[in-house]
Every structure is written in structure tokens, then in C-alpha cells.
């Protein structure tokens, strides 16, 4: 595992808060009066989902979680989707909004959309705080998106590297030993 050199702030906590408020307004409008489930994908989505849930005003909102992985402790996806914790909720006729921290290759979410649709959900859409379209390996695009970001390894706001850095309030680029220097505003760790 490469050694971490420093963090560079990409998106501040204030920018994230403003974007989550905007996303909540869109979701309130689109899901008003619908039997809705927020489905958080653990572990990364928990911070975003908590913030988003507190900002929406839906009367019929259920929240549940799944644990799905294709990364492990690596910095790139393995391509193999592994359901570690499935949900027990009945999805029949309900509108499922998958709440995710980042859409990268799209493989995991494409798999999940199909998996959940087969459980008779009325609709399955995706809301992500971060979208990395340059890494996409599927035709999948999120229905609600906070920020499109370049191809960099990011941590914070629920995202991790080897289970570390999830607690950071900002989204930060993780720089490793041996990388070219040049990021201003980075903080050594």
C-alpha cells in the first residue's frame, strides 16, 4: 500500500453543505407524495445520507443501508461486486433513491440498479455527492449529482483510503509518496 504524502482540499465543507441543500430541494420536488426509500451504500455514503436526510422534507421516507464493495483497500475497483450486507426492506411499489458518496466506474451501481429493480421497486435512481465521469466503464449516469470531479483519489466526507480519512469535513485529494509535487494548499499529514 503506497504511503500517503499529503492532502489537498478539493471541495470545502461549506461548498458541500450548499450543494446538499440544492440536492434536497430537487429531491423534495421530485419525490413529493411518493413512498420513498433512501438506500445508503455503506460505508462511504453515511455522512452524505445523514446530511441529505436532514435537509429533505418528505413525509413518507424510509432509510436503509446495504454494504457493497468492489474496492477493498485498493485505490482502483476490482470490477467484482460483493454484497456484504443486503437490505431486508420490501421494495414493492416504492421509489428507491440510492445515496452514494461517489460514482466512479459505475459497475457497482449498474449492478445494484438491476438488482433492486428485480425486487419490484417502482423506480430506482441514484444520488451522489461526487461523480467521476472520466472513470466510467458503463453507460450509467447519476440522476442527482453534487460535483463532477477529475480523476484523482479523494477522501473525506465519508470517503476513505484503507478505512482512514472518512471523518474529514472537506473532500481532499490524497497524494502519495513519489507523486509529482505541485498541489498548493495541501496539508502534510
Question: For residue 140, is it left (φ>0), alpha (ψ between -120 and 50) or beta?
Answer: beta
Catalytic annotation present for 104: yes
Q: Which of 51, 104, 160, 170 is catalytic?
A: 104
Distance of CA 77 to the CA centre of its chain: 14
User: In terms of DSSP bridges, do strands 36-42 and 61-69 run parallel, antiparallel, or are they unpaired?
Assistant: parallel
Asked whether 70 and 78 are in contact (CB, 8 A), the reply is: yes
Half-sphere exposure of 65 (CA within 13 A, CB side): 15
Active-site residue numbers? 104
Amino acid at each position: 500500500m503506497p504511503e500517503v504524502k499529503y492532502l489537498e482540499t478539493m471541495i470545502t465543507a461549506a461548498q458541500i453543505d450548499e450543494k446538499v441543500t440544492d440536492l434536497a430541494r430537487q429531491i423534495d420536488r421530485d419525490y413529493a407524495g411518493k413512498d420513498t426509500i433512501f438506500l445508503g451504500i455503506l460505508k462511504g455514503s453515511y455522512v452524505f445520507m445523514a446530511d441529505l436526510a436532514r435537509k429533505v422534507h418528505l413525509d413518507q421516507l424510509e432509510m436503509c443501508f446495504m454494504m457493497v464493495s468492489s474496492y477493498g483497500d485498493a485505490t482502483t475497483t476490482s470490477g467484482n461486486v460483493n454484497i456484504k450486507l443486503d437490505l431486508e426492506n420490501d421494495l414493492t411499489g416504492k421509489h428507491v433513491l440510492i445515496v452514494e458518496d461517489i460514482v466512479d466506474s459505475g459497475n457497482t451501481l449498474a449492478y445494484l440498479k438491476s438488482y433492486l429493480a428485480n425486487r419490484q421497486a417502482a423506480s430506482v435512481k441514484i444520488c451522489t455527492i461526487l461523480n467521476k465521469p472520466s472513470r466510467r466503464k458503463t453507460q450509467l449516469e447519476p440522476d442527482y449529482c453534487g460535483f463532477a470531479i477529475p480523476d484523482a483519489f479523494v477522501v473525506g466526507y465519508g470517503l476513505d483510503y484503507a478505512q482512514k480519512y472518512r471523518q474529514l469535513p472537506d473532500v481532499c485529494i490524497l497524494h502519495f509518496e513519489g507523486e509529482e509535487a505541485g498541489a498548493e494548499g495541501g496539508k502534510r499529514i
